[in-house]
Chain A
Protein backbone atom coordinates (compact mmCIF):
# COMPACT_ATOMS: atom_id res chain seq x y z
CA UNK A 1 0.00 0.00 0.00
CA UNK A 2 1.37 3.41 -0.93
CA UNK A 3 1.06 5.76 2.03
CA UNK A 4 -1.03 8.86 1.51
CA UNK A 5 0.63 12.22 1.96
CA UNK A 6 -0.83 15.03 4.06
CA UNK A 7 -2.74 16.65 1.20
CA UNK A 8 -4.19 13.32 0.08
CA UNK A 9 -5.45 12.60 3.58
CA UNK A 10 -7.01 16.06 3.75
CA UNK A 11 -8.66 15.49 0.36
CA UNK A 12 -9.97 12.10 1.45
CA UNK A 13 -11.48 13.44 4.66
CA UNK A 14 -13.14 16.34 2.84
CA UNK A 15 -14.99 13.89 0.56
CA UNK A 16 -17.04 12.59 3.51
CA UNK A 17 -18.47 15.94 4.55
CA UNK A 18 -22.26 16.24 4.61
CA UNK A 19 -24.33 18.67 2.54
CA UNK A 20 -25.29 21.69 4.63
CA UNK A 21 -22.86 20.85 7.43
CA UNK A 22 -20.96 23.23 9.68
CA UNK A 23 -17.48 21.76 10.01
CA UNK A 24 -14.74 22.83 12.40
CA UNK A 25 -11.16 22.47 11.17
CA UNK A 26 -8.38 22.19 13.75
CA UNK A 27 -4.73 23.10 13.66
CA UNK A 28 -2.48 20.85 11.60
CA UNK A 29 -3.59 18.67 8.73
CA UNK A 30 -7.32 19.40 9.12
CA UNK A 31 -7.04 23.02 7.90
CA UNK A 32 -5.77 21.61 4.59
CA UNK A 33 -9.20 20.11 4.01
CA UNK A 34 -10.57 23.57 3.17
CA UNK A 35 -8.61 23.31 -0.09
CA UNK A 36 -10.45 20.15 -1.13
CA UNK A 37 -14.10 20.97 -0.48
CA UNK A 38 -16.25 18.89 -2.90
CA UNK A 39 -18.02 21.21 -5.32
CA UNK A 40 -21.25 19.20 -5.42
CA UNK A 41 -22.16 20.08 -1.82
CA UNK A 42 -22.40 23.29 0.17
CA UNK A 43 -21.06 23.41 3.71
CA UNK A 44 -19.28 25.89 5.94
CA UNK A 45 -15.85 25.47 7.50
CA UNK A 46 -15.63 26.97 11.00
CA UNK A 47 -12.43 28.11 12.69
CA UNK A 48 -11.97 28.70 16.40
CA UNK A 49 -10.83 32.28 15.74
CA UNK A 50 -14.22 33.29 14.39
CA UNK A 51 -14.69 32.44 10.72
CA UNK A 52 -17.71 30.52 9.50
CA UNK A 53 -17.18 29.96 5.78
CA UNK A 54 -13.42 29.56 5.28
CA UNK A 55 -12.43 29.23 1.64
CA UNK A 56 -9.19 27.97 0.10
CA UNK A 57 -5.80 29.30 1.17
CA UNK A 58 -5.20 32.78 -0.24
CA UNK A 59 -3.23 33.12 -3.47
CA UNK A 60 -0.19 35.35 -3.71
CA UNK A 61 -2.11 38.52 -4.50
CA UNK A 62 -5.05 37.99 -2.17
CA UNK A 63 -3.14 37.33 1.06
CA UNK A 64 -4.39 39.33 4.04
CA UNK A 65 -2.46 38.99 7.32
CA UNK A 66 -5.64 39.88 9.19
CA UNK A 67 -7.60 36.98 7.72
CA UNK A 68 -6.21 33.70 9.03
CA UNK A 69 -7.53 30.25 9.95
CA UNK A 70 -6.90 28.09 13.04
CA UNK A 71 -3.46 27.18 11.68
CA UNK A 72 -2.55 30.85 11.07
CA UNK A 73 -2.68 30.30 7.29
CA UNK A 74 -3.85 33.30 5.27
CA UNK A 75 -7.18 32.25 3.81
CA UNK A 76 -10.12 33.46 1.74
CA UNK A 77 -13.82 33.51 2.55
CA UNK A 78 -16.63 31.65 0.79
CA UNK A 79 -19.90 33.33 -0.18
CA UNK A 80 -22.11 33.50 2.92
CA UNK A 81 -19.16 33.67 5.31
CA UNK A 82 -19.37 35.51 8.62
CA UNK A 83 -16.80 36.75 11.15
CA UNK A 84 -17.11 36.75 14.93
CA UNK A 85 -14.91 37.06 18.01
CA UNK A 86 -13.41 34.08 19.88
CA UNK A 87 -16.04 33.95 22.62
CA UNK A 88 -18.79 33.63 20.02
CA UNK A 89 -16.74 31.16 17.96
CA UNK A 90 -16.52 28.89 21.02
CA UNK A 91 -20.20 29.40 21.80
CA UNK A 92 -20.81 27.85 18.38
CA UNK A 93 -18.69 24.86 19.43
CA UNK A 94 -19.77 24.41 23.04
CA UNK A 95 -23.38 25.25 22.24
CA UNK A 96 -23.69 22.35 19.83
CA UNK A 97 -24.00 24.29 16.57
CA UNK A 98 -21.13 22.49 14.85
CA UNK A 99 -21.90 19.21 13.02
CA UNK A 100 -18.42 17.76 12.53
CA UNK A 101 -14.91 18.58 13.65
CA UNK A 102 -11.66 17.39 12.12
CA UNK A 103 -8.85 17.23 14.64
CA UNK A 104 -5.20 16.38 14.68
CA UNK A 105 -4.10 14.21 17.56
CA UNK A 106 -1.18 12.42 19.17
CA UNK A 107 -3.10 9.37 20.36
CA UNK A 108 -6.67 8.11 20.08
CA UNK A 109 -7.94 4.96 21.77
CA UNK A 110 -10.43 2.40 20.45
CA UNK A 111 -13.08 3.89 22.75
CA UNK A 112 -12.46 7.43 21.54
CA UNK A 113 -10.28 8.85 24.28
CA UNK A 114 -8.23 11.59 22.70
CA UNK A 115 -4.78 12.89 23.63
CA UNK A 116 -3.74 15.91 21.62
CA UNK A 117 -2.34 18.67 23.78
CA UNK A 118 0.97 17.60 25.23
CA UNK A 119 3.34 15.21 23.47
CA UNK A 120 5.63 15.50 26.51
CA UNK A 121 8.68 16.25 24.44
CA UNK A 122 11.43 17.55 26.75
CA UNK A 123 11.68 21.35 26.77
CA UNK A 124 8.67 21.76 24.46
CA UNK A 125 5.65 23.46 25.98
CA UNK A 126 2.05 22.22 25.83
CA UNK A 127 -0.59 23.47 23.38
CA UNK A 128 -4.21 22.78 24.20
CA UNK A 129 -5.67 25.42 21.90
CA UNK A 130 -9.32 25.10 21.08
CA UNK A 131 -9.52 21.41 20.50
CA UNK A 132 -10.52 20.51 23.99
CA UNK A 133 -13.94 22.13 23.85
CA UNK A 134 -14.68 20.09 20.75
CA UNK A 135 -14.54 16.82 22.63
CA UNK A 136 -18.18 15.85 22.46
CA UNK A 137 -18.77 16.32 18.75
CA UNK A 138 -18.43 13.86 15.93
CA UNK A 139 -14.87 13.79 14.82
CA UNK A 140 -12.91 12.76 11.84
CA UNK A 141 -9.43 11.95 13.11
CA UNK A 142 -6.58 12.67 10.73
CA UNK A 143 -3.11 11.33 11.09
CA UNK A 144 -0.12 11.08 8.84
CA UNK A 145 1.51 7.83 7.83
CA UNK A 146 4.67 7.83 9.82
CA UNK A 147 5.93 7.13 13.29
CA UNK A 148 2.53 8.05 14.68
CA UNK A 149 0.64 5.53 12.58
CA UNK A 150 0.78 2.71 15.06
CA UNK A 151 -0.51 4.95 17.81
CA UNK A 152 -3.94 4.86 16.23
CA UNK A 153 -4.16 1.23 17.19
CA UNK A 154 -3.42 1.80 20.84
CA UNK A 155 -6.16 0.35 22.96
CA UNK A 156 -5.83 3.21 25.42
CA UNK A 157 -4.05 6.52 25.56
CA UNK A 158 -1.59 5.21 28.06
CA UNK A 159 1.24 7.62 28.20
CA UNK A 160 -0.12 11.03 27.21
CA UNK A 161 -2.57 13.15 29.13
CA UNK A 162 -6.10 13.09 27.79
CA UNK A 163 -7.90 16.15 26.50
CA UNK A 164 -11.28 14.42 26.10
CA UNK A 165 -12.83 11.18 27.32
CA UNK A 166 -14.70 9.00 24.88
CA UNK A 167 -15.23 11.36 21.97
CA UNK A 168 -17.52 10.13 19.27
CA UNK A 169 -14.85 9.33 16.72
CA UNK A 170 -15.48 8.45 13.12
CA UNK A 171 -12.05 7.66 11.81
CA UNK A 172 -13.10 7.58 8.22
CA UNK A 173 -10.67 4.75 7.54
CA UNK A 174 -8.21 7.23 6.18
CA UNK A 175 -5.16 5.03 6.24
CA UNK A 176 -6.68 2.29 4.14
CA UNK A 177 -7.99 4.46 1.38
CA UNK A 178 -6.64 3.56 -2.04
CA UNK A 179 -8.28 6.42 -3.85
CA UNK A 180 -6.70 9.60 -5.09
Chain B
Protein backbone atom coordinates (compact mmCIF):
# COMPACT_ATOMS: atom_id res chain seq x y z
CA UNK B 1 0.00 0.00 0.00
CA UNK B 2 1.26 3.46 -0.81
CA UNK B 3 1.01 5.69 2.26
CA UNK B 4 3.24 8.76 2.47
CA UNK B 5 1.74 10.14 5.68
CA UNK B 6 4.09 10.66 8.64
CA UNK B 7 2.98 11.38 12.20
CA UNK B 8 5.77 13.48 13.68
CA UNK B 9 8.22 16.19 12.67
CA UNK B 10 11.08 13.76 13.50
CA UNK B 11 9.74 11.30 10.91
CA UNK B 12 9.24 14.16 8.50
CA UNK B 13 12.92 15.13 8.75
CA UNK B 14 14.35 11.60 9.07
CA UNK B 15 17.64 11.17 7.23
CA UNK B 16 18.68 14.82 7.38
CA UNK B 17 22.42 15.04 8.04
CA UNK B 18 25.31 17.48 8.24
CA UNK B 19 26.05 18.96 4.85
CA UNK B 20 22.51 18.45 3.54
CA UNK B 21 21.02 20.70 0.87
CA UNK B 22 17.49 21.81 1.73
CA UNK B 23 15.00 23.62 -0.49
CA UNK B 24 12.35 25.65 1.34
CA UNK B 25 9.30 26.99 -0.49
CA UNK B 26 7.28 30.07 0.42
CA UNK B 27 6.79 33.60 -0.85
CA UNK B 28 5.73 36.45 1.41
CA UNK B 29 4.61 33.92 4.04
CA UNK B 30 2.30 32.05 1.64
CA UNK B 31 3.20 28.37 1.33
CA UNK B 32 5.88 28.77 4.01
CA UNK B 33 6.38 25.45 5.87
CA UNK B 34 6.67 26.95 9.34
CA UNK B 35 6.44 23.61 11.19
CA UNK B 36 9.11 21.99 9.02
CA UNK B 37 11.40 25.03 9.25
CA UNK B 38 11.23 24.76 13.06
CA UNK B 39 11.87 21.02 12.76
CA UNK B 40 14.99 21.75 10.71
CA UNK B 41 16.15 24.11 13.44
CA UNK B 42 15.46 21.43 16.08
CA UNK B 43 17.43 18.79 14.16
CA UNK B 44 21.07 19.06 15.21
CA UNK B 45 22.55 19.43 11.76
CA UNK B 46 24.94 21.98 10.32
CA UNK B 47 26.97 22.86 7.24
CA UNK B 48 23.63 23.22 5.47
CA UNK B 49 23.01 24.60 2.01
CA UNK B 50 19.63 26.38 2.02
CA UNK B 51 17.91 26.90 -1.31
CA UNK B 52 15.06 29.35 -0.92
CA UNK B 53 13.76 32.57 -2.43
CA UNK B 54 14.44 34.84 0.55
CA UNK B 55 16.44 34.29 3.72
CA UNK B 56 14.22 36.63 5.71
CA UNK B 57 11.66 34.09 6.88
CA UNK B 58 14.25 31.62 8.10
CA UNK B 59 15.60 34.17 10.51
CA UNK B 60 12.05 34.78 11.76
CA UNK B 61 11.15 31.14 12.40
CA UNK B 62 14.52 29.42 12.86
CA UNK B 63 16.97 32.07 14.12
CA UNK B 64 19.35 29.45 15.56
CA UNK B 65 20.20 28.20 12.08
CA UNK B 66 22.07 31.46 11.59
CA UNK B 67 23.07 32.36 15.15
CA UNK B 68 24.72 28.93 15.55
CA UNK B 69 26.26 29.28 12.07
CA UNK B 70 24.69 26.07 10.81
CA UNK B 71 24.15 27.44 7.31
CA UNK B 72 27.27 27.52 5.17
CA UNK B 73 25.71 28.43 1.85
CA UNK B 74 22.47 29.92 0.53
CA UNK B 75 21.12 29.95 -3.01
CA UNK B 76 18.52 32.75 -3.08
CA UNK B 77 17.12 35.68 -4.99
CA UNK B 78 16.90 37.86 -1.87
CA UNK B 79 19.27 38.24 1.06
CA UNK B 80 18.13 41.56 2.45
CA UNK B 81 16.71 41.70 5.95
CA UNK B 82 13.81 43.85 7.05
CA UNK B 83 14.45 47.46 7.95
CA UNK B 84 17.71 49.35 8.21
CA UNK B 85 19.37 47.25 10.88
CA UNK B 86 21.41 44.31 9.70
CA UNK B 87 20.10 40.83 10.32
CA UNK B 88 22.40 38.05 11.50
CA UNK B 89 22.70 36.60 8.00
CA UNK B 90 23.56 39.97 6.49
CA UNK B 91 26.40 40.31 8.99
CA UNK B 92 27.59 36.77 8.20
CA UNK B 93 27.48 37.56 4.49
CA UNK B 94 29.55 40.66 5.08
CA UNK B 95 32.11 38.73 7.14
CA UNK B 96 32.31 35.91 4.61
CA UNK B 97 30.94 33.34 7.06
CA UNK B 98 27.99 32.62 4.80
CA UNK B 99 28.38 32.00 1.08
CA UNK B 100 25.61 33.40 -1.12
CA UNK B 101 24.77 32.40 -4.67
CA UNK B 102 22.44 35.22 -5.74
CA UNK B 103 20.09 34.12 -8.52
CA UNK B 104 17.37 36.10 -10.33
CA UNK B 105 14.06 34.67 -9.18
CA UNK B 106 12.84 33.34 -12.53
CA UNK B 107 16.18 31.68 -13.17
CA UNK B 108 16.01 30.29 -9.63
CA UNK B 109 12.65 28.61 -10.35
CA UNK B 110 13.70 27.38 -13.77
CA UNK B 111 16.97 25.88 -12.52
CA UNK B 112 14.99 23.73 -10.09
CA UNK B 113 12.44 22.83 -12.76
CA UNK B 114 15.36 21.69 -14.90
CA UNK B 115 16.82 19.77 -11.97
CA UNK B 116 13.59 17.88 -11.54
CA UNK B 117 13.12 17.32 -15.26
CA UNK B 118 16.43 15.72 -16.24
CA UNK B 119 17.70 18.86 -17.99
CA UNK B 120 21.29 19.59 -16.88
CA UNK B 121 21.43 23.20 -18.13
CA UNK B 122 19.61 25.75 -20.29
CA UNK B 123 20.18 29.16 -21.89
CA UNK B 124 18.28 32.23 -20.71
CA UNK B 125 18.58 35.95 -21.51
CA UNK B 126 18.07 36.99 -17.88
CA UNK B 127 20.99 38.90 -16.41
CA UNK B 128 23.16 38.69 -19.54
CA UNK B 129 25.97 41.25 -19.44
CA UNK B 130 25.56 42.05 -15.75
CA UNK B 131 27.55 41.15 -12.66
CA UNK B 132 24.84 38.64 -11.74
CA UNK B 133 26.01 36.24 -14.46
CA UNK B 134 29.72 37.06 -14.53
CA UNK B 135 31.90 34.10 -15.45
CA UNK B 136 29.06 32.04 -16.90
CA UNK B 137 29.12 30.68 -20.43
CA UNK B 138 27.38 33.05 -22.86
CA UNK B 139 26.00 32.50 -26.34
CA UNK B 140 23.87 34.58 -28.71
CA UNK B 141 20.54 33.29 -29.99
CA UNK B 142 18.94 35.37 -32.75
CA UNK B 143 21.38 38.13 -31.90
CA UNK B 144 20.40 38.15 -28.25
CA UNK B 145 22.97 37.37 -25.56
CA UNK B 146 22.03 34.45 -23.34
CA UNK B 147 23.63 32.73 -20.35
CA UNK B 148 24.03 29.03 -19.67
CA UNK B 149 22.43 28.26 -16.32
CA UNK B 150 22.76 24.88 -14.63
CA UNK B 151 20.12 22.77 -12.89
CA UNK B 152 19.72 22.71 -9.10
CA UNK B 153 18.86 19.61 -7.10
CA UNK B 154 18.71 19.03 -3.33
CA UNK B 155 18.49 16.33 -0.68
CA UNK B 156 15.31 17.72 0.88
CA UNK B 157 12.48 20.06 -0.13
CA UNK B 158 10.10 21.51 2.48
CA UNK B 159 6.83 23.18 1.57
CA UNK B 160 3.30 23.89 2.78
CA UNK B 161 0.09 22.89 1.02
CA UNK B 162 -3.60 22.96 1.77
CA UNK B 163 -4.85 19.38 1.30
CA UNK B 164 -3.07 16.12 0.51
CA UNK B 165 -3.99 12.44 0.28
CA UNK B 166 -2.01 9.35 1.33
CA UNK B 167 -0.67 8.99 -2.20
CA UNK B 168 1.23 12.26 -1.77
CA UNK B 169 -0.95 14.30 -4.09
CA UNK B 170 -1.12 17.94 -2.96
CA UNK B 171 -3.40 20.88 -3.68
CA UNK B 172 -2.68 24.46 -2.82
CA UNK B 173 -4.82 27.47 -2.02
CA UNK B 174 -4.17 31.10 -2.91
CA UNK B 175 -0.50 31.75 -3.68
CA UNK B 176 0.80 28.82 -1.59
CA UNK B 177 2.13 27.11 -4.68
CA UNK B 178 5.06 29.39 -5.64
CA UNK B 179 8.25 27.26 -5.59
CA UNK B 180 6.61 24.10 -4.21
CA UNK B 181 6.09 22.15 -7.45
CA UNK B 182 9.60 22.73 -8.82
CA UNK B 183 11.21 22.04 -5.44
CA UNK B 184 9.27 18.79 -5.04
CA UNK B 185 10.51 17.73 -8.48
CA UNK B 186 14.12 18.66 -7.76
CA UNK B 187 14.60 17.03 -4.35
CA UNK B 188 15.25 13.43 -3.32
CA UNK B 189 12.89 13.77 -0.36
CA UNK B 190 10.02 16.25 -0.68
CA UNK B 191 8.12 16.83 2.57
CA UNK B 192 4.80 18.69 2.53
CA UNK B 193 3.02 20.02 5.61
CA UNK B 194 -0.71 20.47 5.03
CA UNK B 195 -3.77 21.74 6.88
CA UNK B 196 -5.60 18.53 6.14
CA UNK B 197 -5.00 15.01 4.87
CA UNK B 198 -8.01 13.74 2.99
CA UNK B 199 -9.09 10.14 3.62
CA UNK B 200 -10.45 10.09 0.09
CA UNK B 201 -8.17 10.47 -2.93
CA UNK B 202 -8.05 14.07 -4.15
CA UNK B 203 -9.96 14.70 -7.38
CA UNK B 204 -7.26 14.11 -10.04
CA UNK B 205 -7.91 17.41 -11.79
CA UNK B 206 -7.51 19.39 -8.56
CA UNK B 207 -3.95 18.17 -7.90
CA UNK B 208 -1.14 20.77 -8.07
CA UNK B 209 1.76 18.42 -7.24
CA UNK B 210 1.36 14.84 -8.43
CA UNK B 211 2.24 12.44 -5.61
CA UNK B 212 5.05 10.91 -7.66
CA UNK B 213 7.15 13.95 -6.67
CA UNK B 214 6.28 13.77 -2.95
CA UNK B 215 7.78 11.42 -0.35
CA UNK B 216 6.27 12.56 2.96
CA UNK B 217 3.06 14.27 4.07
CA UNK B 218 2.67 15.79 7.54
CA UNK B 219 -0.72 17.05 8.76
CA UNK B 220 -0.38 20.22 10.86
CA UNK B 221 -4.03 21.19 11.30
CA UNK B 222 -3.49 23.62 14.17
CA UNK B 223 -0.43 25.43 12.88
CA UNK B 224 -0.54 28.45 10.69
Binding site for B on A (CB under 8 A): 47-51, 64-73, 83-87, 89-90, 93-94, 117, 122-130, 132-133, 135-136, 161-165
The reply on B89 being an interface residue by CB < 8 A is yes
- Name the interface residues of B164-188: CB closer than 8 Å to any CB of A: 172-182
- Nearest A residue to B104 via CB reads A132
DSSP class of A's interface residues: helix, strand, loop or mixed? loop
Interface pair A83/B177, CB less than 8 Å apart? yes
- Nearest B residue to A117 via CB reads B132
Known: A50-B177, A66-B176. A124 touches B182 (CB 8 A): no
Interface pair A125/B106, CB less than 8 Å apart? no
Number of A-B residue pairs, CB cutoff 8 Å, is 155
Interface pair B80/A124, CB less than 8 Å apart? yes
The tally of residues in B whose CB lies under 8 Å from a CB in A reads 55
- The docked-state distance in angstroms from the alpha carbon of A129 to that of B53 is 8
- The docked-state distance in angstroms from the alpha carbon of A132 to that of B28 is 19
Known: A123-B94, A127-B80. A65 touches B224 (CB 8 A): yes
The 3 tightest CB contacts between A and B, nearest first, are: A72-B28, A90-B106, A125-B79
User: What are 27 inter-chain pairs, A to B, with CB distance below 8 A?
Assistant: A49-B27, A50-B177, A65-B30, A66-B30, A68-B28, A68-B30, A69-B28, A73-B28, A84-B177, A86-B177, A86-B178, A86-B182, A87-B181, A87-B182, A90-B109, A124-B86, A125-B78, A125-B80, A125-B100, A126-B78, A126-B102, A128-B103, A132-B104, A132-B127, A133-B106, A133-B126, A162-B130
Known: A87-B109, A87-B113, A87-B181. A129 touches B174 (CB 8 A): no
Please give, as numbers and ranges, the residues of chain B lying within 8 Å of A86 by CB-CB distance: 27, 53, 105-106, 109, 177-179, 182
DSSP class of B's interface residues: helix, strand, loop or mixed? loop
Binding site for A on B (CB under 8 A): 27-31, 53-55, 77-81, 84, 86-87, 89-91, 93-94, 100, 102-107, 109-110, 112-113, 124-132, 162, 172-182, 208, 224
- The docked-state distance in angstroms from the alpha carbon of A117 to that of B133 is 13
- Nearest B residue to A122 via CB reads B94
Interface pair B78/A127, CB less than 8 Å apart? yes
Interface pair B78/A67, CB less than 8 Å apart? no
- The docked-state distance in angstroms from the alpha carbon of A69 to that of B175 is 8
- The docked-state distance in angstroms from the alpha carbon of A71 to that of B29 is 11
Question: Within the complex, which residue of B90, B104, B110 is in contact with A125, where a contact is CB–CB below 8 Å?
Answer: B90
